[in-house]
Chains A and B, each alone.
Chain A
Amino acid sequence: MKSDRIFGGIWLLVAIAMGVLASKFVAPFAYEPIGPSRYPILLAVLNALCGLWMILRPGPEPEWPGIALWRKIFVMFATLLTYALLFQDLGFMLATALLTVALGLLYGGTPKKCIIGGALMGPGLYVFFDKLLDVALPVGSIWAWG
């Protein structure tokens, strides 16, 4: 119940922000009766109505994960983000090997298995995609100095 209300409130704010932004869309040459701003404003109004509805008539409270699970989710998020940010620098091979170890551990693999998995998966997927299927993947800018 509370979650729906909070979401409804956020959604209402988003809708208002959308409406304000959209009302400033002006076409340099207006040749059609409906310009670029009317449709987004229509969506904003509908969004606002839905937001209000969720505040006034919230549904049952969803089952949120416990703290332990939230921690896992955060670790997963941080791991993926680190992977994404280091993807071009470390290169696909190393980054993916590290990702495999990290996620493997998170999803219940034993350290030994995960390290073996990472050592195989990084180079394996690199050869498969880059060499075999011709999908260009980053080699990694840190290797360029050596």
Chain B
Amino acid sequence: MDAFSYLGSGFLVALQPVNLLVAVIGCFIGTVVGMLPGLGPINGVAILLPLAFALKLPAETALILLAAVYIGCEYGGRISSILLNVPGDAGAIMTAIDGNPMAKKGMAGVALSISAWSSFVGSIVATIGIVLFAPLLAKWALAFGPAEYFALIIFAFCCLTGMVGDKPVKTVVAALMGLVLATVGIDANSGVYRFTFDSVHLADGIQFIVVVIGLFSVSELLLMLEQTHAGRAAIKTTGRMLFNLQEMGATWWGTLRSAVMGFVIGVLPGAGATIASAVAYTMEKKLGDKDGTFGKGDIRGVAAPEAANNASAAGSFVPMLTLGVPGSGTTAVMMGALTLYNINPGPLLFQNQPDLVWGLIASMFIANVLLLIMNIPMIGLFTRMLAVPTWLLVPAIAAVSVVGVYAVHSTTFDLVLMIGIGIIGYVLRKMDFPMSPLILGFVLGEMMEQNLRRALSISNGELGILFQSGISIGLWTLAIVIVAGPRLYRRFRR
């Protein structure tokens, strides 16, 4: 019952005019960013984060804005999947498989509305999941000491490596790069300058915003130089715009199943919307594809992945809010945003910042209602915006990114560093290095080092403390299972 009274006070925060306005703006921007091919939630959140900071928005308002953008992106991605057959973001790849054939059959309106509806169901189910489980997890995590935290962070990295799978070394290198970047600056415990090369600009460490914008805005713009599907015409939405009860009935259970599964996948650190929607689609295909209609415009194949990717996006808030370990690249950026406000996400967040946490959760409910309205009755507005030309979009993104970075310190140094990181990011991405582990490493780096050093201070340098408590042994075991499990499984099947 406790959670519900907190949720009530959360709605009081979320319904404040500023926060409501910010949610509307966030939902709108999110849908647009999600819809535009090449830009996904992590880019949207990365570009808006410095602006939120520059506008001196209070922490909860900034977080509500970013969350609305994130959720909005998961809605928006489907639009271009269905109309262009080009996924608007990674979570919407599976939606194109049946969504685009449906649109070609003249049922674009139905595909858009049913996927908006299942996005809504997925997101709401997962947000209810947050209300039910997050406080419990936070309470449990209160017992974590530095050794347990260190094990938890290792576990989070192992989840990433396990999931990305086919290129484990590159995932590890990416995570290490993030960890190395995080060590730059004054060491908090001893006051020693590390890797600053006597530059005053690096004494405080590398600015989070600079890294994020470099990796997710500048390098993204460079990748857009290669895009060639400019000439592709969007399918016109004609005919019936809304799904009927029969179609809703046909998709209902699949949507719910995918929502629950998406939530669980989202909660796992490292696994995100892309995996959730792929698993959901495969599951529904296995369960329901009796006449071979999947892939040819089956409405169930449109609903399931959308429910799953939205649910997993909401689910990835759970580890960020309760443990201070983000569940996806996007929540890693959001967690970085919190630390900019000197708020340390972790189990104490629920106790110390109830307004922030519950305000955020309540506004996620509100954002979903707003998004349902934007994505069914007002969908025409967005489909028209699919035609925004790249030659206008790219300079706009570049200018807005620069404004955000410049607003933090007003130095040219940060701008040049941003461009440098962007170029390096581009080369790394071309070489198939995943970027999520890098940003996760950068966000978690300091926490990892501090917890390791604290644990070893307690034990006077004895490494055994890292494997002493039941919780840490459990986490280390899980970490090993996640990394080694799939590989052993593959070997035995051979």
- Which residues of A are interface residues toward B (Cβ below 8 A)? 3-4, 7, 11, 18, 21-22, 25-30, 32-37, 39-40, 43, 46-47, 50, 53-54, 57, 59, 62-65, 69, 72-73, 76-77, 80-81, 83-85, 87-88, 92, 96, 99-100, 103-109, 113-114, 117-118, 121, 125, 129, 133-138
Residues in B neighbouring A59, C-beta threshold 8 A: 167, 169-170, 432
Nearest CB on B from A101, distance (A): 8
24 A-B contact pairs sorted by A residue (CB < 8 Å): A25-B187, A25-B194, A26-B192, A28-B190, A32-B457, A37-B192, A46-B176, A62-B432, A76-B225, A77-B423, A80-B398, A83-B398, A83-B402, A87-B406, A87-B412, A99-B395, A103-B394, A104-B394, A104-B395, A106-B225, A121-B392, A125-B399, A135-B55, A138-B410
Residues A27 and B190 in contact, CB atoms below 8 Å apart: yes
Residues A50 and B173 in contact, CB atoms below 8 Å apart: yes
Q: Return the chain A residue nearest B389 by Cβ.
A: A109
| B453: interface (CB < 8 Å) | yes
Q: Which of A33, A36, A105 contacts B456 (CB 8 A)?
A: A33
The distance in angstroms between the C-alpha atoms of A59 and B432, with both chains bound, is 10
Q: Return the chain A residue nearest B182 by Cβ.
A: A43
Residues in B neighbouring A26, C-beta threshold 8 A: 192
| B383: interface (CB < 8 Å) | no
The distance in angstroms between the C-alpha atoms of A62 and B200, with both chains bound, is 37
Residues B224 and A40 in contact, CB atoms below 8 Å apart: no
Residues in A neighbouring B402, C-beta threshold 8 A: 83-84, 87
Known contacts A33-B456, A36-B189, A107-B224; A84/B419 CB under 8 A? yes
Residues B195 and A21 in contact, CB atoms below 8 Å apart: yes
| B390: interface (CB < 8 Å) | yes
> What total count of A-B pairs have CB within 8 Å?
173
Known contacts A32-B453, A34-B453, A39-B452; A64/B395 CB under 8 A? no
The distance in angstroms between the C-alpha atoms of A47 and B181, with both chains bound, is 13
The distance in angstroms between the C-alpha atoms of A72 and B226, with both chains bound, is 10
Main secondary structure of the interface of A (DSSP, over half): helix
The distance in angstroms between the C-alpha atoms of A62 and B426, with both chains bound, is 13
The distance in angstroms between the C-alpha atoms of A50 and B461, with both chains bound, is 26
| B415: interface (CB < 8 Å) | yes
The distance in angstroms between the C-alpha atoms of A4 and B431, with both chains bound, is 8
| B221: interface (CB < 8 Å) | yes
The distance in angstroms between the C-alpha atoms of A29 and B187, with both chains bound, is 13
The distance in angstroms between the C-alpha atoms of A11 and B172, with both chains bound, is 13
- Which residues of B are interface residues toward A (Cβ below 8 A)? 51, 54-55, 167, 169-170, 172-173, 176, 179-180, 183, 187, 189-192, 194-195, 218, 221-222, 224-226, 230, 389-392, 394-396, 398-400, 402-403, 406-407, 410, 412, 415-416, 418-419, 422-423, 426, 430-432, 449, 452-453, 456-457, 460-461
Residues in B neighbouring A21, C-beta threshold 8 A: 195
Nearest CB on B from A15, distance (A): 9
Residues A88 and B457 in contact, CB atoms below 8 Å apart: no
Residues in A neighbouring B389, C-beta threshold 8 A: 108-109
Known contacts A54-B173, A108-B230, A109-B391; A22/B460 CB under 8 A? no
Residues B179 and A43 in contact, CB atoms below 8 Å apart: yes
Nearest CB on A from B58, distance (A): 15
Residues A43 and B222 in contact, CB atoms below 8 Å apart: no
Which of B190, B390, B415 neighbours the largest number of chain A CB atoms within 10 Å of its CB? B190
Residues A84 and B415 in contact, CB atoms below 8 Å apart: yes
The distance in angstroms between the C-alpha atoms of A82 and B442, with both chains bound, is 28
Residues A39 and B453 in contact, CB atoms below 8 Å apart: yes
Which of A29, A39, A57, A92 neighbours the largest number of chain B CB atoms within 10 Å of its CB? A39
The distance in angstroms between the C-alpha atoms of A33 and B221, with both chains bound, is 46
Q: Return the chain B residue nearest A118 by Cβ.
A: B395
Q: Which of B226, B394, B400 contacts A125 (CB 8 A)?
A: B400
Residues A80 and B419 in contact, CB atoms below 8 Å apart: yes
Residues B391 and A104 in contact, CB atoms below 8 Å apart: yes
Nearest CB on B from A27, distance (A): 4
Q: Which of A64, A81, A107, A138 contacts B391 (CB 8 A)?
A: A107
Known contacts A11-B173, A54-B173, A100-B399; A108/B194 CB under 8 A? no
Residues A36 and B431 in contact, CB atoms below 8 Å apart: no
Residues in B neighbouring A114, C-beta threshold 8 A: 391
